[in-house]
């Protein structure tokens, strides 16, 4: 016979205890979290901007530089072979992490921004013409807007926008009317960095393909939190940043369907991306190297590979369960504050990001006062000015959670907000 079900309150408190035990174990892996700020243990809630790094990543980078560094691909000596293997091995790890069967479909970039610029530049060069249309949304980070504005201006193409509802969800029932025979590309985020909204990419991909267009997904906030399988998502391009998923800065990945990458012209010219160079013309290396001109960020790639391994070792199910528990607790506690305005959909539809405003206190003052208490949050437009316009505000404060945060971090945030309220009345 089954044991009688525990009351809901007890179940929630069990989940919180499990989440706190999980975070306590994980935090030991992150040296930067072992410090005090403002005389108190650091509470790091700025993960949507950049995450902290575990020893596994720091050690992988240090090991690479201590033992294996040389330039890749072109050397005939032992260290060049090792560096090349480290670089290409990291590509295989990131390909696995994204669910890509073919590592050649993964192009190293400086991050999500460069990955989107690569497509907006190289793909648009061949496939975007006058009168063509690109569909974006008002939820996008500037990285998924400005490159398309530049591409559209070059080609004489038109930008069309999917709007948001009052809770920051995409108004998907309007997508069919935005998709026309002239739509060539739809570019949307997997997860909003300003609101945490998770978008139903697989459902969107079907509609986009039925209209004969391509789908690029800005995965800067998706890859760190959700299990990514580009085949199941059904998109054509997926962009991610190392530093938002426990890896180093200055490295990211663009996954693209091989036949598309093969049809695209190079984005930059230089060493390593060519097959033959003559006086007047050159021919290109195979993908992905065609898009990797110059000496690449080998140590960054090694670090991103180690980060992918680290997160895989934690397991996406454990990560999701943990983040859900902390997020629900945060939303409950924040919602109980008098004079707070919370932005974004309910917990079930978002990742661990909470944007908010307090009556009478500017978002930046909130962040400054929290910082004095050792609580790191971000304030501003979060590179999502169209989201701010949608809600009619210039800025929000944003707390964003990751695998090392727990409900005590949320308590410290709430205590800090109580202080803000005491100061601003
Ligand atoms: N897209 C989203 C949704 C983001 O949150 C960010 C970074 O905040 C980016 C793109 C840009 O990422 P990066 O600065 O790593 O290129």
Q: Which tens digit of pLDDT belongs to each residue from 201-226?
A: 999 999 999 999 999 999 999 999 99
Q: Render the burial of 362-383: b for 16+ CB within 10 Å, e for the rest.
A: ebebbbebbeebbbbbbbbbbb
Q: Is the Cβ atom of 355 under 6 angstroms away from ligand 1?
A: no
Q: DSSP assignment, residue 168?
A: S
Report which secondary-structure segment, H or E, holds 303. Answer: helix 298-314
> If you average pLDDT over residues 293-299, what whole number do you get?
97
Q: What share of the chain is helix, strand, coil (3-state, %, to 5)?
A: 45, 20, 35
10, pLDDT greater than 70: no
Q: Render the burial of 346-356: b for 16+ CB within 10 Å, e for the rest.
A: ebebbbbbbbb
Q: Residue 6's pLDDT is what?
A: 58
**Cα 109 to ligand 1 centroid, rounded to whole Å:** 13
User: What is the C-alpha separation between 146 and 152, in angstroms, rounded?
Assistant: 10
Which one is predicted more confidently, 287 or 1? Answer: 287
> If you average pLDDT over residues 351-369, what whole number do you get?
96
Q: Residue 425's pLDDT is what?
A: 75
> If you average pLDDT over residues 385-398, what whole number do you get?
98
The question of whether 383 is a catalytic residue gets the answer yes
Residue 419: CA count within 13 A, CB half-sphere: 17
7, pLDDT greater than 90: no
Q: Is the pTM of this model over 0.75?
A: yes
Report which secondary-structure segment, H or E, holds 216. Answer: strand 214-218
Relative to the CA of 110, which ligand 1 atom is closest? 16
Residue 412: CA count within 13 A, CB half-sphere: 23
Q: Where are the alpha helices (DSSP H) in 98-134?
A: 112-118, 124-127
Relative to the CA of 115, which ligand 1 atom is closest? 16
**Cα 143 to ligand 1 centroid, rounded to whole Å:** 6
User: What is the C-alpha separation between 298 and 72, in angstroms, rounded?
Assistant: 8
Give per-residue pLDDT as tens, 97-126: 999 999 999 999 999 999 999 999 999 999
66 burial level (CB within 10 Å; 0-12, 13-18, 19+): exposed
Relative to the CA of 241, which ligand 1 atom is closest? 15
12, pLDDT greater than 90: no
124 burial level (CB within 10 Å; 0-12, 13-18, 19+): buried
Q: Residue 9's pLDDT is what?
A: 72
211 burial level (CB within 10 Å; 0-12, 13-18, 19+): middle
Please, which pLDDT band fits residue 3 given cuts at 50, 70 and 90? very low
**Cα 119 to ligand 1 centroid, rounded to whole Å:** 15
Residue 163: CA count within 13 A, CB half-sphere: 7
92: alpha, beta or left? (left if phi > 0; alpha if psi -120 to 50): alpha
If one residue of 112, 191, 237 were mutated to test the ligand 1 pocket, choosing by the most ligand atoms within 8 A of its CB, it would be 112
- The residue among 239, 237, 240, 242 whose CA lies nearest residue 263 is 237
Q: Is the Cβ atom of 137 under 6 angstroms away from ligand 1?
A: no
User: What is the C-alpha separation between 232 and 185, in angstroms, rounded?
Assistant: 19
- Using DSSP's 3-state secondary structure scheme, residue 196 falls into coil
> If you average pLDDT over residues 139-162, what whole number do you get?
98
Q: Residue 1's pLDDT is what?
A: 38
45, pLDDT greater than 80: yes
**Cα 382 to ligand 1 centroid, rounded to whole Å:** 10
Distance of CA 309 to the CA centre of its chain: 17
Alpha-carbon radius of gyration of the chain? 22
> If you average pLDDT over residues 150-176, what whole number do you get?
98
Cβ contacts of residue 7 below 8 Å, gap of 6+?
A: none
Distance of CA 115 to the CA centre of its chain: 12
Strands 133-137 and 353-358, bridge-based pairing: unpaired
Give per-residue pLDDT as tens, 232-263: 999 999 999 999 999 999 999 999 999 999 99
Q: Residue 356's pLDDT is what?
A: 98
Q: Residue 74's pLDDT is what?
A: 79
Q: Is the Cβ atom of 222 under 6 angstroms away from ligand 1?
A: no
Pair of tokens at residue 182: 């002239």
Relative to the CA of 244, which ligand 1 atom is closest? 15
If one residue of 146, 148, 241, 253 were mutated to test the ligand 1 pocket, choosing by the most ligand atoms within 8 A of its CB, it would be 241
**Cα 295 to ligand 1 centroid, rounded to whole Å:** 23
User: What is the C-alpha separation between 25 and 105, in angstroms, rounded?
Assistant: 35
């Amino acid at each position: 016979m089954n044991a009688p079900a525990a009351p809901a309150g007890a179940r929630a408190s069990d989940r919180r205890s499990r989440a706190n035990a999980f975070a306590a174990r994980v935090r030991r892996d992150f040296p930067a979290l072992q410090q005090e700020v403002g005389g108190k243990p650091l509470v790091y809630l700025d993960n949507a901007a950049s995450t902290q790094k575990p020893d596994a990543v720091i050690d992988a980078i240090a090991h690479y530089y201590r033992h294996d560094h040389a330039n890749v691909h072109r050397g005939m000596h032992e260290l060049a072979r090792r560096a090349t293997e480290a670089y290409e091995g990291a590509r295989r790890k990131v390909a696995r992490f994204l669910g890509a069967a073919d590592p050649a479909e993964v192009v190293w970039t400086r991050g999500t921004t460069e990955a989107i610029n690569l497509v907006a530049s190289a793909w648009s060069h061949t496939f975007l013409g006058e009168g063509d249309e690109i569909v974006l949304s008002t939820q996008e980070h500037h990285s998924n807007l400005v490159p398309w504005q530049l591409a559209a201006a070059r080609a004489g193409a038109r930008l069309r926008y999917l709007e948001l509802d009052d809770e920051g969800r995409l108004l998907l029932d309007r997508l069919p009317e935005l998709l026309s025979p002239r739509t060539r590309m739809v570019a949307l985020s997997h997860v909003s960095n300003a609101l945490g909204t998770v978008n139903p990419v697989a459902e969107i991909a079907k509609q986009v393909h039925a209209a004969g267009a391509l789908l690029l997904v800005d995965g800067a906030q998706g890859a760190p939190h959700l299990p990514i399988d580009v085949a199941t998502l059904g998109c054509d391009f997926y962009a991610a940043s190392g530093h938002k998923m426990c890896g180093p800065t200055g490295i990211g990945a663009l996954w693209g369907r091989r036949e598309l990458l093969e049809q695209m012209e190079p984005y930059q010219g230089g060493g390593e991306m060519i097959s033959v160079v003559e006086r007047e013309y050159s021919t290109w290396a195979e993908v992905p190297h065609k898009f990797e001109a110059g000496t690449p960020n080998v140590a960054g790639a090694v670090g991103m590979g180690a980060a992918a391994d680290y997160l895989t070792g934690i397991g996406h199910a454990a990560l999701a369960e943990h983040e859900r528990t902390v997020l629900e607790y945060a939303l409950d506690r924040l919602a109980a504050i008098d004079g707070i305005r919370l932005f974004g959909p309910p917990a079930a539809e978002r990742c661990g990001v909470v944007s908010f405003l307090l009556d009478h206190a500017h978002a930046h003052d909130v962040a400054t006062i929290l910082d004095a208490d050792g609580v790191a949050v971000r304030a501003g437009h979060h590179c999502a000015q169209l989201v701010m316009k949608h809600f009619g505000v210039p800025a929000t404060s944003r707390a964003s959670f990751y695998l090392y945060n727990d409900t005590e971090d949320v308590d410290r945030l709430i205590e800090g907000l109580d202080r803000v309220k005491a100061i601003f009345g």
